[in-house]
Amino acid sequence: MNINVISIFPGAMETILSMGTMGIAAKKSLAGYRVVDLRDFAKDNYGSVDDVPYGGGGGMVMMVEPICDAVRSLGLREGSPVILMSPAGRMFDQALAHRFAAADELTFVCGRYKGVDERVRELVATDEVSIGNFVLSGGELAAAVCIEAVVRLLDNVLGNEESRDTDSFSERRKHILDCAYYTRPVEFNGLRVPDVLLSGNHKEIQKWRENSSLERTRARRPDLLANGARES
């Protein structure tokens, strides 16, 4: 998969993309990253990519022309996803991560300042995506969140795909959280690992894990169970 990121902080973005799962995917040649410095598409000699908003008010607005030129410079195939990071976008979730993971190329546009000229949405963005009901100062970290969630779904990126496939929100666990996990030591500060996990009885362990998943979901995210019931 090719992943392009358009940003005014290309160096920071490259560092983020070299980390953890995203870095592993690149090393295994399963994902290739192209980071585009938006300032290369500025129309003046100062590298300006933002201007004051028409109508006044505080904050600067990212200009439409450099962003459109940066996207067009990538020579994307017709319909290739161009994802504008925005608090006003569709909420990112595992279903969207799966949809993006099926594409062969993704392009993320990172806003800054007060936001992005509205015409970017109309001219080049195919998707507008938010990572939550809060406001960051820029789209870089938001894009990185999406990229990591997508890349870990690509075949052969993770060492242990069984682990991924039992994660919360995975295809198998759409409406249920993952179970509780323990590792050594068996006892710490008076808290003991449940005996069944030490028993070696795989059937009983499986039963315990299913129950743990259900209890955790009931306690923390009953909305997921309600959604599951509605859909079935």
Point out which residues bind ligand SAM (CB under 6 A). 85-88, 110-112, 114-116, 130-132, 134-139, 142
| Tokens, residue 95 | 């279903």
| Tokens, residue 84 | 């504008």
Residue in 183, 28, 33 with CA at minimum distance from that of residue 194: 183
Nearer to ligand SAM, 136 or 158 (CB): 136
Nearer to ligand SAM, 104 or 122 (CB): 122
Q: Cα-atom radius of gyration of the chain, to the nearest Å?
A: 22
Q: Could you give the CA distance from residue 132 to residue 69 in angstroms, rounded to a whole number? A: 28
Strands (E), 92-172: 105-109, 115-116, 127-130
In the complex, what is the shortest distance from the CB of residue 49 to ligand SAM, in angstroms, rounded to a whole number? 12
In the complex, what is the shortest distance from the CB of residue 117 to ligand SAM, in angstroms, rounded to a whole number? 10
In the complex, what is the shortest distance from the CB of residue 104 to ligand SAM, in angstroms, rounded to a whole number? 23
Q: Which helix (H) or strand (E) holds 171?
A: none
Q: Could you give the CA distance from residue 129 to residue 141 in angstroms, rounded to a whole number? A: 13
In the complex, what is the shortest distance from the CB of residue 148 to ligand SAM, in angstroms, rounded to a whole number? 14
Nearer to ligand SAM, 117 or 224 (CB): 117
Whose CB is nearest to ligand SAM? 111
In the complex, what is the shortest distance from the CB of residue 138 to ligand SAM, in angstroms, rounded to a whole number? 5
3-class state of residue 209 by DSSP: helix
Nearer to ligand SAM, 55 or 159 (CB): 55
Residue in 143, 140, 139, 123 with CA at minimum distance from that of residue 69: 123
Nearer to ligand SAM, 12 or 136 (CB): 136
Q: Which helix (H) or strand (E) holds 167?
A: none
In the complex, what is the shortest distance from the CB of residue 225 to ligand SAM, in angstroms, rounded to a whole number? 26
Nearer to ligand SAM, 19 or 88 (CB): 88
